[in-house]
Amino acid sequence: MKVLGLILAGSSRSGIKELTKKRASAAVPVFGKYRAIDFTLSNFVNSKIKKVGVLTQYYPRSLMDHLGSGKEWDLDRKTGGLFILQPYFKNKEEIPVYKGTADAIFQNMTLLRRGDEDFVLIGSGDHIYNFDFTKLYHYHLLNAADITILTKECKDNKLINTYGQVVTDEDGRILEFHEKPSETISNRISLGVYFINKALLIELLYTSIPSGGKDIVRDIIQPNLKKLRVFSYNFEGYWSNIKKSIEAYYNTNMDILREEVRKELFYSNKIYTKLKDYAPPKININANIQNAFVADGTIINGTVKNSIVSRGVRIKAGAIIENSIILQDTIISEGSFIKNAIIDKDCKIREGKKVIGENKIVVIEKGTIL
């Protein structure tokens, strides 16, 4: 299939502001050695999509450093490959910024027009799931659809109204699309993945954006819902949006301690990430580890229970880590006690310090020394 993949890397409007102060939400670390974008990007590559554009503008340095030339995803190629797409100056009076998801794609229209792809697949870089998009492609063709949207039944009543909700007929055609309604209309939510005929997308963008349109849902899909054949593809597997809240980010990471989640995310299709020259983890004789996910480059002399320990972390003798996420190159000194916490990269917790989340998860920002 000839498909152009586009990944939206996230804006400044995030529910995990403590972790996105200096990085895009797509660049937030997950599961010890990965970044959030690794999952969507790997899904694209595993689905034989050879040309991928990443649209980013908010603190892009960390994301660009991680993606590099796209070598780890086999996207460092002469034909197709990986494109980092940022806003740029067109004239001195205009501030370079993406005004919305549709506007971001419109500003990179050259990428669409010059390629020979027939379809465009648009996804978000901060969603965690494993999916073969060839299934979506065949479903799209089978229904002679103009747009196909990946959807899922939502069982979390607390978060359901933070997502777009769709109402379908018995054939899966979308009759109504309500973007983050104040009251629950349907328990079927949009996962922010859109498969669309490229020529149609170009036409819709040229119709909408010059007249003030900005957003894919509000300005492209909703106004044309009755005119176009828009279908819902039901996704039944594990899926999580880490940027909704600190609790969502924390719970997603902790889910990797469950065997069924590990099997679904990592055993079916490979998830690729940037390689680093760390040694294997070193678990010394005095260490005590129970139900933990430990990445390469770590040195553990203390106790780790029900936690995620990222690359290059050092946990010294007498330190105790419980129900926590420790991100890259952090040092936990002797006698420290960490519980119900997220410790960001390059932090140093000094001897005997306690970091305990009582009623909610506590977050220690990047580079903090306590």
Residues facing residue 362 across a β-bridge: 341
Is the pLDDT at 94 greater than 80? The verdict is no
Mean pLDDT of 14-22: 88
What pLDDT shows up at residue 90? 73
Q: What's the confidence (pLDDT) of residue 54?
A: 97
Average pLDDT, the chain: 94
Q: Look at the chain and count its residues.
A: 370
Q: What is the DSSP string of 313-365?
A: -EE-TT-EEES-EE-TT-EE-TT-EEESEEE-TT-EEPTT-EEE-SSS-EEEP
Whether pLDDT at 91 is above 80:
no
Question: Does pLDDT of 172 surpass 70?
Answer: yes
Give the residue-averaged pLDDT of 191-220.
95
In the chain, what is the straight-line distance between the N-terminal and C-terminal CA atoms, in Å?
A: 53
**Alpha-carbon distance 210 to 222, whole Å?**
17
Q: What's the rounded Cα separation, in Å, for the pair 302 and 321?
A: 8
- Model pLDDT for residues 138-166, shown as the tens digit of each residue: 999 999 999 999 999 998 777 888 899 99
Q: For 31-65, write each residue's pLDDT tens digit.
A: 999 999 999 999 999 999 999 999 998 889 999 99
Amino acid of residue 12? S
The whole-number average pLDDT for the span 12-18 is: 81
15 confidence band (pLDDT: 50, 70, 90): confident
Q: 2 or 12, which is more confident?
A: 2
For the cut 70, the answer to whether the pLDDT of residue 11 exceeds it is no
- Written as one string, the DSSP assignment of 29-67 is EETTTEETHHHHHHHHHHTT--EEEEE--SS-HHHHHHH
pLDDT in tens, 286-297: 999 999 999 999
Global pTM value: 0.95
Q: What is the pLDDT of residues 294-343, one digit of tens each?
A: 999 999 999 999 999 999 999 999 999 999 999 999 999 999 999 999 99
